[in-house]
Every structure is written in C-alpha cells, then in structure tokens.
Chains A and B, each alone.
Chain A
C-alpha cells in the first residue's frame, strides 16, 4: 500500500540529506529535471584516480528522490563511472522486482515503490544525474 512508501527509515534517510550541498571545485557536475513532475537534481563529483572521492547534491524533489540522493551521498564514494552505471541498472532492476545489490542495504527501502511505476523516476533521477556528472567529467 502507499503508506509503505514512507517508512520511518526512508523519511530519516531523506531528512539526513547525506551529501547535500556543493563542492568547492568539482571535477564533474550535472543538472537533471524530471519531465513528469518538474523535480530537479544537481549533482557534483570530485574524483581521484577515476573514482568518486566526494559527492554533493542539491535536490528539489520528493522524499523518494531526496532519499535516493542521500543514499548516494552516504555510499557513493569509491564508485567509478562503470560502477555508477551498473548501480543505476541494479536500482532500476530492484524497482522492477529484483533483489537489491549487495552493499546497498538501504535500497530495500525502495521496494514498496515497485507497484508505483510513475514514481520509479523519482528514485532513479539522482542515479541518472550522478552518471551525467561523471560523463561531464569524461567530456571535459
């Protein structure tokens, strides 16, 4: 049921807003909008040896979007572009019904989103934006 979407742990994750803010000199940056609801995520990354050293984000979005961004702020350091791409695909698969990837136990919080297909984009937007931020660094 809808109520399950808003478990206390998800609310706490969203409100903790791990990684919220800006980086002084990011190596990559991207801004993405949700065409469905107008939500907006800005993601910045600082890199070291091709891997994320630090993440910062600014989210104008719903609790699901904010929780997903917070999760990236919590666990995103250490990912490289390939790992971020694989993670995005695993999150999409989790929303489609697969088990969450190992090492990201908080992704179970998004399992109740599965039947609400119009909300999948809310969860995925920060992951998509992170990929774009990493891609912007590659292009620079």
Chain B
C-alpha cells in the first residue's frame, strides 16, 4: 500500500470538511478517523444496549461489539490475550487506577520512580499516593537535551523501588524513551514497569510483549479515536494481583450485605457502565491504523519534522526544547521565540489557520528543567503536509512582525 497524506487526510471527516485548517496539535488530540466515526454511529444506531448484563439479542450484540473492540486493542498492542485489556476513560484514568490499585499494596518507604519528563498525569497521581501511603518518589533526571538520563538509572533505582512509571515519549520534546534498559533494571530489583503510552500509540502499533513492560496506558482520542475512552493494558499476572480501584456494578463476583468478592480482570477494573460506543470506535480506529503503511508514514512525518527543525533553526531568537535531531524521536517540535509569549504566538497562528498549542503542556517540571514557563508546540500526524509546515512558518514570521 502506498501512502498519500492527502488521501489519508480525506479519511478524517473534520479535516476533509475544513481544507484550510492546518491542524498541528496532534499531541493534544488527534482528529477522529472515519473508521471510528462510522463504528460509533453504527454501534449506537444498531447495537446500543448495556453490556455484560442483558440476555436479549440487542444486548448480546452490544457485548460482542464491546469484546471485539477489546480484541482489536489487544491485537494492536500484541497483547497475549484480550483479557489483558482494561477500558478506562483515558490515560489519566488508567494511571490513577494503577496508582490506587497498585498503591494499595505499598507502604512508607516503598519507592516509585518517575522521570522529570512526565506529563502531570504521571506525576500528580504518584504525589497523591505519597500523601496517602508515605511512599518515596524518586525522579530520574534528564540529559541536557531532555532525554531521560539513563546513565543515572542505577542511582535512582533502589531495591526499595516497587514501580517505575515513565513516559513512552515526551509530549513536549517528542523524545522516545529507551524502555529496554529501564525494564531490565526495574525487573532486576523486582519493580513493575508502567508506561504512559499516550504519545506513542498514534505513531504505529506497539508491541507490549517485545517491550517487556508490565502495564501500558493510552488514550483513544490521541489515537484518532473517540474521546472518553482509554486503555490500561497489563500482563495477566500483574493485573490479577491488583485489587479493584472503583467499586460498582459489573466488577463483582458476589455481593452480600457483609462483603463482596470481585471479578477477574479486566472486569474487576471496569466498574459501572463502560464507554461502550467509544470503545467500539477506538477498536475500529486501531484496526484501521493496524493496516496502514507505517514505514511510509514514518518517513513522511520524519521528512516534515526534519524540514520544520531546519527552517525553525534559522529564525532569529528561536530556541528548541528537546533534541535537535530525529533520532528516536516523534514528530513533536517545541520551541520559543525570544520575547514572544507562546499564547500570543499561537493566537496569531490561529489567524493563519494554524492550530498549535502554547503553554506548559501539563509538563511544568519539564518546563522548569528547560527554564521556561511554556513553549509553542507543533505536533505532526501522517495527514499533515508541506502546506501545513508552510503555513506554520509563514504564521511565525507574521507573529514576529506583529508582536516583536
């Protein structure tokens, strides 16, 4: 299958309807693909019923659609089986689930290791756990280019460490984490590894078995699927050891006035009515993504990112946050223009039809590391084109004229 960015763009209803939109905020939310849109609509028009409860045909069809989505996610992640896939409300909900369920077994002095590059979603739940359980948070520092400083891994990974929670790729710098040495070192001290995959899954299928991680979280809306749904994948034996987080319908074995027994994973972690149609949409999105020509698509986005890096570098007063090269890095480029505030720059870019994000990107510890309050971020997807880069660069020059 050959790849055409223009044809790919046509598979995204919002982009097809807005040809003048230069959407470069994909690290925040990807556009909804046609496959997901159609699947959600079809499901709610033909199979809408609650799941795992009904014995009538419609409910059984809803069950089948929901469990099919679980299998589609498992296939995309190369999970050993679909029962390892827990549907959540998103990455944040998945990490909070782990922080509560895994955290339940931790006590004062136990350690959790994070990195300084984490999104707030992978900082705040652990700080809250520290307040509840007295755990110690160890923060792996960064190399000057914003990559995790793996040379200091052993220094921060002690035998007291029970969990390592790190990002698969930074939502600010695009730097991809080298997970293999982290997993190896963590397992050597008996710690589990949770990976925040929010930025990774939209850039191609992930192989959780090859990565060797224990838990992996991501969001549907960043992977061209619906909002309101996400995934916590966990090795079967890791999930089985976790107590439930939320209690309610659907996650029980038996309830008496005195006590409750709990269902096996994944249902143990899906209390209440799950985001059914959204899960079906996410499954369809991943199923469609799985069949895409990723080598060509990676080459395409890398070309665009390379051009962006080169042309930004010659703008006066521009500084990058993160690596300057494309080695082991996603097409996410964050930068500042001397004397110009990111929000002001983004507002002028909006006048050019360019949608980019400015601010701290929910990564204030990383912003502090770089010594800035915020940055402008352009994050690319395969539907982006040279025209999007042209518009961004023209808009930046206009912002420099207007605001400088």
How many of chain A's residues have a CB under 8 angstroms from any CB in B? 19
Given contacts A1-B351, A38-B364, A60-B373, 18 further A-B contacts (CB under 8 A): A2-B347, A2-B350, A2-B351, A3-B402, A5-B347, A6-B344, A6-B403, A36-B359, A37-B358, A38-B367, A38-B374, A39-B373, A39-B374, A62-B343, A62-B344, A63-B341, A63-B344, A119-B347
Please tell me if A42 contacts chain B, counting CB pairs below 8 Å: no
- Across-interface contacts of B347 in A (CB, < 8 A): 2, 5-6, 116, 119
Please tell me if A23 contacts chain B, counting CB pairs below 8 Å: no
Place the interface of chain B in its size category: 10 to 19
Cβ proximity bits B372-393 to A, threshold 8 Å, 1 near / 0 not: 0110000000000000000000
Please tell me if A122 contacts chain B, counting CB pairs below 8 Å: yes
A37 and B359 contact, CB distance less than 8 A: yes
Closest residue of A by beta carbon distance from B402: A6
- What separation, in Å, do the CA atoms of A62 and B342 have in the docked complex? 8
In the complex where A2-B347, A38-B374 touch, is A61 in contact with B364 (Cβ < 8 A)? Answer: no
20 contacts between A and B (CB under 8 A): A3-B402, A5-B347, A6-B344, A6-B347, A6-B402, A11-B403, A37-B342, A37-B343, A37-B359, A37-B373, A37-B374, A38-B359, A38-B374, A39-B373, A39-B374, A60-B373, A61-B341, A62-B342, A119-B347, A122-B343
- What separation, in Å, do the CA atoms of A62 and B339 have in the docked complex? 10
- What separation, in Å, do the CA atoms of A119 and B344 have in the docked complex? 10
Instruction: Give the 7 A-B residue pairs with the shortest CB-CB distance, closest first.
Output: A62-B341, A38-B360, A38-B373, A37-B359, A2-B351, A62-B343, A2-B350
Please tell me if A57 contacts chain B, counting CB pairs below 8 Å: no
Please tell me if B348 contacts chain A, counting CB pairs below 8 Å: yes
- What separation, in Å, do the CA atoms of A39 and B367 have in the docked complex? 12
B360 and A37 contact, CB distance less than 8 A: yes
Q: In A1-59, which residues have CB < 8 Å from any B CB?
A: 1-3, 5-6, 11, 36-40
- Across-interface contacts of A37 in B (CB, < 8 A): 342-343, 358-360, 373-374
A13 CB to closest chain B CB (Å) equals: 14
Cβ proximity bits B344-370 to A, threshold 8 Å, 1 near / 0 not: 100110110000001110001001000
- Across-interface contacts of A119 in B (CB, < 8 A): 343, 347
Q: In A59-91, which residues have CB < 8 Å from any B CB?
A: 60-64
In the complex where A38-B374, A63-B403 touch, is A3 in contact with B359 (Cβ < 8 A)? Answer: no
- What separation, in Å, do the CA atoms of A61 and B403 have in the docked complex? 14
- What separation, in Å, do the CA atoms of A105 and B243 have in the docked complex? 61
B403 CB to closest chain A CB (Å) equals: 6
- What separation, in Å, do the CA atoms of A62 and B346 have in the docked complex? 11
Taking a contact as CB atoms closer than 8 A, the residue among A2, A11, A40, A116 that contacts B373 in the complex is A40
- Across-interface contacts of A61 in B (CB, < 8 A): 341
- Across-interface contacts of B341 in A (CB, < 8 A): 39, 61-63
- Across-interface contacts of B402 in A (CB, < 8 A): 3, 6
B107 CB to closest chain A CB (Å) equals: 32
- Across-interface contacts of B343 in A (CB, < 8 A): 37, 62, 64, 119, 122
- Across-interface contacts of B350 in A (CB, < 8 A): 2
Interface-central residue, A38, A61, A64, A116, by most chain B CB under 10 Å: A38
Closest residue of A by beta carbon distance from B346: A2
Interface-central residue, B343, B351, B359, by most chain A CB under 10 Å: B343
- What separation, in Å, do the CA atoms of A37 and B351 have in the docked complex? 20
- What separation, in Å, do the CA atoms of A61 and B402 have in the docked complex? 17
Q: In B325-351, which residues have CB < 8 Å from any A CB?
A: 341-344, 347-348, 350-351
B348 and A2 contact, CB distance less than 8 A: yes
- What separation, in Å, do the CA atoms of A3 and B352 have in the docked complex? 10
Closest residue of B by beta carbon distance from A60: B373
B376 CB to closest chain A CB (Å) equals: 12
- Across-interface contacts of B374 in A (CB, < 8 A): 37-39
